[in-house]
Structure 1
Amino acid sequence: MFDNMNIPLNLFFENLEKEKIAELFKNVFPWEPLKVLKIYLLDIISDLPKEIPIGVPLSESLFFTTEGEIIPLKEIDIYDEEYYFRGKKIEGAILKAGAILTGRKIFFEKDVVVEPFSLISSPAYFSKGTQIRHGAYVRGSIYTGEKAVIGHATEVKNSIFFSSAKAPHFAYVGDSILGNNVNLGAGTKLANLKFSKKNIILKINSETIDTGLKKFGAILGDRCQTGCNSVLQPGTLLGKESYVYPNRVCGPGYFLPGTKIK
């Protein structure tokens, strides 16, 4: 266990218990949730209504209420960032015309916005206020906490975004975990596969650990930041409040909280 190696989870994450998937992190290495994320999401997510088309671009923008009702967005009135339908206040997610959903195991909490020409595969769970921006590619097995951002031309798969984690521009996030308030600079790549295609091996405190994962990108603790065009090699673990400067290659291995990689 991480605790046995004197590297507790709180070196990465604070207030972990506030995240809906906190149970996946209990008494395991911090990368273990990636192994079960897909199964977990398939179990907790209900199917989208049949009124939402699958596999084709949405022909019009929709408002998907928290009650499961589908309403054309053009019929919604907006006042002071609140939504009304026929005089009644409603809450829900906005799915813009041109977005593509390729499966029904997708869950949207209120105030989620899916912008045009993004593509979302299931399973995926988007918490309150998440933004899926224009041209994003969500390849499935994705969980986001509140107010997370998957940005323009960003590709993500089998990853966890805690609340306010952001990959806003041209990023690749594969088999990775982003802590609270992480921000990836434009063009950041979290590489997840070695040339050898063998399991990712970590060396921590003179111990060698086989993660059991052939694909494992990075874990970025709370408030970590990366500069533009930085690359994190497979199996990189950044303690909270660490920085990777622009155009730098980082890892693999574990870096203490507050590390600055210049």
Structure 2
Amino acid sequence: MALDVVIMAAGKGTRMKSSRPKVLHTLAGRPLLQHVLQTVATLDAQRTVIITGHGAEQVEAAVQAPGLQFVRQSPQLGTGHAVQQAVPALGDDGITLILNGDVPLIEASTALALIEACAGRQLALLAIELPDPTGYGRIVRSGDARGGHVVGIVEHKDASPEQRKIREVYTGMMAVPTRALKGWVARLRNNNAQGEYYLTDVVAMAVHDGVPVVATHARDEIEVLGVNSPSQLADLERRYQRKLAEQQMEAGVRLADPARFDLRGTLQCGQDVEIDVNCVFEGDVVLGDGVRIGANCVVKNAVISAAAVIHPYTHIDGERQGVKVGEGALVGPFARLRPGADLGPEVHIGNFVEVKNSTLGKGAKANHLAYLGDATVGERVNYGAGSITANYDGANKHRTVIGNDVHVGSNCVLVAPITVGDGATIGGGSTLSKNAPAGELSVARARQTVIPGWQRPKKAAR
């Protein structure tokens, strides 16, 4: 049966106190709406319609993808009015699944259960029981029992004191026979406390028309929690991160403290991986067997091979090019690996060393206060403290090539393009702008001069 998905994303989000549209605020590094779309992508929908309103241009630009359709709701006169805008874009038959762009963590299995409950002939509501249902529409059933037939939904602001005691609430998501939905939303009226057109009024219409109304329940509260304020967003972030941490620990990862773990992308881990506190993983990250990540590290778009150790306060950001760290390598503390950094096995990158668009062969070391940019570094190279590759001439980047077994002394400048041959030694304090031959000592610095009797200037007396 054909499936259409409607995502409501028109709200202003006044309580967010932000110029950014609410559905573009981020959870685990991605916009709220993008989470919903990721779930929808697994449902094999015929069409996906996003209802935009406040900040429509920003929202539509942020989530452009093949197959998406946008309709605009202006002014915003309630959820029923929103769906009225989407109706012309829907098919004539099949099922319409209605989701909310600010309820990001709905699972595909829950959405499929809702669709199956609809079956093209029933109105299926996604419900949950909450200890504190304040703000949610209450599901009203015939009789007192939980198993009574659903006869309506009453919004919190319109509910009587007795109805507000009901803990079974409507989550804002439903699956509806499309043909029936079109007829019901055309009959909506705004005679309520808010003066809005409530989508929930279609429940009473379905009951009146003899269409069965059923409620399926979400398995986890996190699936139905919406975001209306910064505090709610922060609460959902921590809940979600705890869930992601549990998944990693179930797979065998040792987290020093799951409450201080942040995943904002994908993380694949081998066996015996250890992650200390306050680490952030972004983009796509792969950690091989036995990798250890020290405290307070940021790792983005990187592949870190087995037995490598990333010491505390290291920042790795591969952007689009990615970063590779070889087997048994040691990085940090306070190191920075930028896009295109490719470290071979047993490479050492120490404190306050930055590597960008450079490859380092097996066993190469840059242990202190150094910069390697646009460089090809051979095996067993020792790169001295304070040394840099001067790779930029003000207009273009140039490459430095350092052969195997090279020793670069402290405080050296290698002005690219330049090649340092195998086994060469560069004397400390040298600035080289010409190639250094293999196996030889190259020195380029001013001769030391001693001036006898020289007196250091003194401050004038006041």
TM over 0.5: yes
Q: The residue matched to 1:255 in structure 2 has which SS?
A: coil
TM, length-normalised to structure 1: 0.60
Residue in 1 that maps onto 2:270: 66
Partner of 1:3: none
Aligned mate of 2:437, from 233, 248, 256: 256
CA contact (8 A) 2:274 2:293 kept: no
Which residue of the partner structure matches residue 38 of structure 1?
Answer: none
Greater radius of gyration (CA): 2
* Long gaps (5+) in structure 1: 1-49, 53-57, 75-89, 198-213
User: Does the alignment pair 1:109 with 2:305?
Assistant: yes
Q: Which residue number in structure 1 is paired with residue 408 of structure 2?
A: 226
The Cα shift of 1:66 comes to: 2.6
Tell me the amino acid that sits aligned with residue 373 of structure 2.
G
8 Å CA contact 2:415–2:431 kept in 1: the answer is yes
User: How far apart are the structure 2 equivalents of 1:178 and 1:118?
Assistant: 21
Q: How far 1:255 moved relative to its partner?
A: 3.0
Does residue 1:187 correspond to 2:386, yes or no?
A: yes
Given that 1:163 and 1:179 are in contact with CA atoms closer than 8 Å, whether structure 2 keeps it comes out as: yes
Contact 1:154 1:169 in 2 (8 A): yes
Match of 2:369 among 170, 176, 189: 170
Q: Whole-Å Cα distance in 1 between the matches of residues 411 and 387 of structure 2?
A: 5
Aligned to 2:356: 157
User: Displacement of 1:228 after TM fit?
Assistant: 0.7
Alignment partners' CA distance in 1, 2:428 and 2:273: 43
Paired with 1:258 and 1:170, the residues of 2 have a C-alpha distance of 25
Task: Please list the CA deviations of residues 45-85 of structure 1 after superposition, one character each: whole Å capped at 9, or x if unmatched.
Answer: xxxxx758xxxxx946xxx8535x765569xxxxxxxxxxx
More helix by share: 2
Partner of residue 170, structure 2 = none
- Asked if the contact 1:66/1:109 (under 8 Å) is kept, the reply is no
User: What letter corresponds to residue 108 of structure 1 in structure 2?
Assistant: I
Partner of residue 292, structure 2: 94
Q: Distance in 2 between matches of 1:73 and 1:137?
A: 18
- Using a 3 Å threshold, how does the CA distance of structure 1 residues 251 and 259 change in structure 2: closer, same or farther? farther
Q: Hey, what's the Cα distance between the residues in 2 that align with 1:188 and 1:222?
A: 17
Tell me, which stretches of 5 or more residues in structure 2 are unaligned? 1-243, 249-258, 262-267, 278-287, 444-462
CA RMSD of aligned residues (A): 2.7
> Cα gap change, 1:147/1:70 in structure 2, threshold over 3 Å: closer, same or farther?
closer
Is contact 1:226-1:245 (8 Å) kept?
yes
CA distance in 1, matches of 2:442, 2:338: 30
Partner of 1:145: 344
Q: Is the 8 A contact 2:352 2:368 kept in 1?
A: yes
> CA separation of 1:72/1:149 partners in 2, compared to 1, >3 Å: closer, same or farther?
closer
Match of 2:32 in 1: none
d(CA) in 2 for partners of 1:166 and 1:150? Answer: 6
Larger RCO, structure (CA 8 Å, separation 6 or more): 1
Q: Distance in 2 between matches of 1:233 and 1:72?
A: 39
Give aligned pairs, total: 171
Preserved contact between residue 221 and residue 239 of structure 1 (Cα < 8 Å): yes
Work out which of the residue numbers 425, 429, 435 in structure 2 matches 1:247. Answer: 429
What do the CA deviations read for 1:144-192 (whole angstroms, capped 9, x no partner)? 1110011100111000001001111000000001100001111011110
Task: Provide the identity percentage.
Answer: 24
| Alpha-carbon distance between aligned partners in 2 of 1:177 and 1:125, rounded to the nearest angstrom | 14
Distance 1:129 1:71 in 2: 14
Tell me the distance in 2 between the aligned counterparts of 1:154 and 1:72.
Answer: 22
Q: Would the aligned equivalents of 1:188 and 1:229 in 2 still touch at CA under 8 Å?
A: yes
Give runs of aligned pairs for residues 16-95 of structure 1, distance below 5 A: 59=260, 65-67=269-271, 91-95=289-293
Residue 133 (structure 1) aligns with: 332
